[in-house]
Amino acid sequence: MQKQITYTGMIWLFAAQFIVILPFLFHLPLWLLPVLLFAAAWRLRVLSGAAMQPGNMTKVALIGLGIAGLLLSGLRFPSLDAMATLLLLGFAFKSLEVTQRRDAIVVIFIGYFLVALHFLYTQALGAALYATLSMVILTGALVGVQQTITEFSTGQQVRFNLRLSVFMLLQCLPLMLVIFVFAPRFAPLWSLPLAPTQAKSGVSDRMAPGDIEKLAKSGDLAFRVTFKGKRPAQHELYWQGLVLNHFDGREWRQFEQDYDTYQLKSVLLNHYRWNPDAIHVQGEAVPYEAIYETSGQPWLFTLAPTLEVTGDVLRGADYRVMAQQALQAPFLLKAVSYPDAQRDAVLPDTLRSLAVTLPPSGDTRSRALAQRLWRETGNPQAYIDAVLARFREQPFAYTLNPPGLGESDTVDTFLFDSQRGFCAHYAGSFVFLIRAAGIPARVVVGYQGGEWNDAGQYLAVHQYDAHAWAEVWQAGRGWVRIDPTNAVAPSRTEQGLEAAVQAEGTFLADSIFSLRKIAWLNGIRQQVDTVQYGWRRWVVGYDRAEQAALLKSLLGTFSIGRTALLVAGLFAVIGLFWLLTLGMTQRQAQEAPEQRLYRRFCEALAKRGIVREPGDAPGVFAAQAAAHLPALANVIQEFTQVYEGVCYAPTADGQAATRRLKTLLAKLR
């Protein structure tokens, strides 16, 4: 028969449920918390006798309401959010029927699973610390639901449970470390799609007026970079993501047809394959490693062109580097780039056709401007200089709050009317004018610059560093990077976005990045970010390649036999540690002879149906036994008297008393 859970045990259980559900509320419907509080309040009222246990019909009705709420929340099926919400709903409702310890243990075990599930949403260091707290509370609840009424006060019991919980988890720590370091790193066997609102972030595969400036208002991290040698100058840090070739009059896209990730991989492999022979290496190599944050997109941002790269990536003829799958977890990339290398000295026809195409109509004023400037200059370089000079000399402004351009003739509206825009406006209109003169050009999107962290010696690139620029193909030089934004706001590439829009005062005014103006607060922020980077690099980024490198450094030549021997030795050490910490190697205290004989005396009487209660004194128990066994009353009374004498009034001849107890015990038997 299962033991009933106590009121205190139920409080522990609800505390554990609350701690587990709380972080999910940043990603899932907020109504899950009221559901938990409702279930907890009902169960506590049942335990106090103020309410009735919910019947089957009530449970069915509550489940129906929960599923209805799930359907009305607009979550896509199947998706991670929908499955997690359904599990959390059952986790909350389960407390309605918790009456026995077995039910409470089931809820706690589900809680352990949910702690692990939250890492599918975020693997930040803060999430790991919170998960540790959740494990402590869950384990404390596991102890609490096993307890009956004790003589401890509530405060003493809470401290005892928490101490025991922490002690138990610390004992598991060595085993956890061994499993983390040596367990094979397998790719996931299956995956669920993320919700549309969470699936994609950062630079997109299309660019319309207003898109990139939205990113510029976000302080979220995009990726971090550690350079293995000399760090390039700030104005040289152009992190290319992807190339946009097709313009429909308002929006720039990669190709005329939209492709999903799988189709795009096929297009790059079959039509725009990476060709290392098209690169003439010159200039210094820039080796580095980058850790990209979860974005839900496959784009990886590198210093083009990248000649050497490690990781599960795909490269294209436009010098992009992209992951094989959308990034649903932090991604580590090691690369060597040659930013000064010459690319495509001979331009393939497929790339040329992409780089000269314009819509058949629209933006007539811009086309007329291009024709006039071409007549005045007569050669590509002079024409490019004339277009850039127009940006410098006309009253163009660089702003995070540009006016709208409408749905048609957007280039005309920007160049002749508003003349206020962000990098996307300048890059898009520049490429339009270059193509209008018949010169191959394309838009490149990615990030420019980054914030150098002196504490951690790495570059942190944030969403507000998102940028768009142009590449123009020139005979004998190949693709040449030209950033038309520099003609209007040169401080953008030299000092960053904050300096470029300083006059507006619009740079992340309400963000934590505004603290950079206070030196000591900025130092604390960078120190915290350094710790986060270490967590990303050495814990979250610990993959098969890192594991293989570690094993090679430990074992010299990697082999399964050596690895198995090392792991077996570590398990032996952990086993010895457990033996010592649990006290399993300590010898039990020897039982005194008179205590051993009295225990056997009680066992002999128990066989005759006379059981001693824990609180019965020897004299009281002897009187009860003598009343039930009058034929043995003298033996029972004498045994008790001798035993009490040995315990409370010992004499010099203790051995004689022990022999007498043995004789009396034999008579009793």
CA distance 436 to 424: 18
Question: Which residue, chain included where needed, has tokens 């008790």?
Answer: 640
Three-state secondary-structure class, residue 295:
coil
CA distance 64 to 58: 10
Q: What is the distance between the terminal CA atoms of the chain, rounded to a whole angstrom?
A: 34
Catalytic site residue from 363, 412, 483, 529: 483
CA distance 441 to 621: 103
> How far from the centroid of its chain's Cα atoms is residue 188's Cα?
16
Sign of CA dihedral 474, 476, 479, 485: negative
Q: Is 280 a catalytic residue?
A: no
Output the CA–CA distances (angstroms, integers) from residue 548 to 181, 555, 556, 561, in the order listed. 10, 10, 11, 15
**How many alpha carbons lie under 13 Å from residue 347 in its C-beta half-sphere?**
21
Question: Which residue, chain included where needed, has tokens 């490693």?
Answer: 289
Catalytic site residue from 344, 423, 425, 465: 423
> Any idea how long the chain is?
669
What is the widest separation between alpha-carbon atoms in the chain? Answer: 133
Contact by Cβ (8 Å): 622, 637: yes
CA distance 560 to 566: 10
Spell out the SS3 assignment of 591-651.
CCHHHHHHHHHHHHHHHCCCCCCCCCCHHHHHHHHHHHCHHHHHHHHHHHHHHHHHHHCCC
Say which amino acid occupies 334.
Answer: K
CA distance 81 to 75: 7
Q: Is 103 a catalytic residue?
A: no
Q: Is 483 a catalytic residue?
A: yes
CA distance 12 to 138: 8
Residues serving a catalytic function are: 423, 467, 483
